[in-house]
């Protein structure tokens, strides 16, 4: 599938989650979640295009999505703007749906507010590969830290472990926290 010339790859894990939600109940929330994750990723794509970066594709997985954009050679300010663009889009959508819901309360509008707020909040956690991890790294680099990636990876590791503990080792969030812990403890990146 392509949207605005950008290929959208729906990975098997995302399809499995959609199928599971259809079997056990109403898949509307999962469909909305993936639709809003895709729109969130287009926020990153729009910001990246300002710097001449070409997006290869958007990938949708069971745990979220990613716009595949080469970022080699970006200065920290550019990385910051690109990282903040996705959450900004999610917050804008939440605001629009909240305003519409205040005029005419409808449960699906309330759900759309919640979904977009959740996407924005989750993505702003200071954990790689989330937007918050990229924001943290770019802010550290703008302050002159030559070890911005190393510091942000270590902070992401601590936050991932804390999230795992705080979520009381719940199954799905726990699995996601473990993946984040593994991603943030990459010795090859720790040698910066």
Q: What is the pLDDT of residues 131-140, one digit of tens each?
A: 999 999 999 9
- List beta partners, residue 67: 58
pLDDT at 185 over 60: no
79 in catalytic set: no
pLDDT score for 189: 44
Sign of CA dihedral 80, 85, 86, 87: positive
Q: Which residue has the higher pLDDT, 111 or 145?
A: 111
Residues 170 and 83 occupy one common structural domain: no
Q: Which residue has the higher pLDDT, 81 or 177?
A: 81
Helix (H) or strand (E) holding 1: none
Q: Are 123 and 133 in contact (CB under 8 A)?
A: no
- Domain C-terminal end among 96, 124, 152: 124
Specify the number of domains making up the chain. 2
Residues 1 and 39 occupy one common structural domain: yes
Average pLDDT taken over every residue of the chain: 84
Residues 118 and 133 occupy one common structural domain: no
- Domain C-terminal end among 78, 108, 124: 124
Choose the catalytic residue: 41, 59, 79, 192: 41
* Terminal Cα-to-Cα distance of the chain (whole angstroms): 38
The domain of 11 spans 1-124
Residues 101 and 10 occupy one common structural domain: yes
Residues 53 and 14 occupy one common structural domain: yes
Residues 113 and 173 occupy one common structural domain: no
Residues 2 and 85 occupy one common structural domain: yes
Mean pLDDT for the stretch of residues 59-82: 88
Residues 13 and 100 occupy one common structural domain: yes
What is the four-CA torsion angle of 89, 91, 95, 100, rounded to 10 degrees?
Answer: 60
Residues 163 and 175 occupy one common structural domain: yes
Residues 102 and 139 occupy one common structural domain: no
State pTM to two decimals. 0.83
Residues 110 and 175 occupy one common structural domain: no
Q: Are 110 and 116 in contact (CB under 8 A)?
A: no
Q: Is residue 84 very low, low, confident or very high in pLDDT (cuts 50, 70, 90)?
A: very high
What is the four-CA torsion angle of 29, 41, 86, 192, rounded to 10 degrees?
Answer: 120
- Domain C-terminal end among 78, 104, 124: 124
Q: Is residue 180 very low, low, confident or very high in pLDDT (cuts 50, 70, 90)?
A: low
Q: How far apart are CA 68 and CA 102, in angstroms?
A: 36
Residues 160 and 177 occupy one common structural domain: yes
């Amino acid at each position: 599938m392509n949207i605005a010339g950008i290929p959208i790859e729906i990975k098997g894990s995302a399809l499995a989650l959609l199928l599971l939600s259809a079997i056990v109940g109403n898949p509307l929330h999962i469909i909305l979640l993936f639709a809003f994750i895709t729109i969130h990723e287009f926020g990153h794509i729009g910001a990246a295009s300002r710097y001449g970066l070409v997006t290869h594709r958007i990938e949708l997985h069971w745990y979220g999505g990613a716009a595949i954009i080469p970022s080699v050679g970006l200065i920290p300010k550019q990385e910051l703007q690109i990282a903040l663009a996705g959450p900004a889009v999610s917050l804008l959508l939440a605001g629009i749906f909240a305003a519409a819901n205040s005029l005419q309360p409808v449960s699906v509008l309330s759900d759309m507010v919640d979904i977009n707020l959740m996407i924005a909040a989750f993505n702003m956690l200071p954990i790689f590969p989330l937007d918050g991890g990229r924001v943290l790294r770019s802010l550290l680099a703008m302050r002159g830290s030559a070890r911005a990636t190393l510091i942000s990876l270590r902070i992401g590791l601590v936050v991932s472990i804390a999230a795992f503990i705080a979520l009381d080792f719940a199954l799905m969030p726990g699995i996601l926290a473990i993946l984040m812990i593994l991603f943030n403890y990459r010795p090859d990146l720790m040698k910066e």
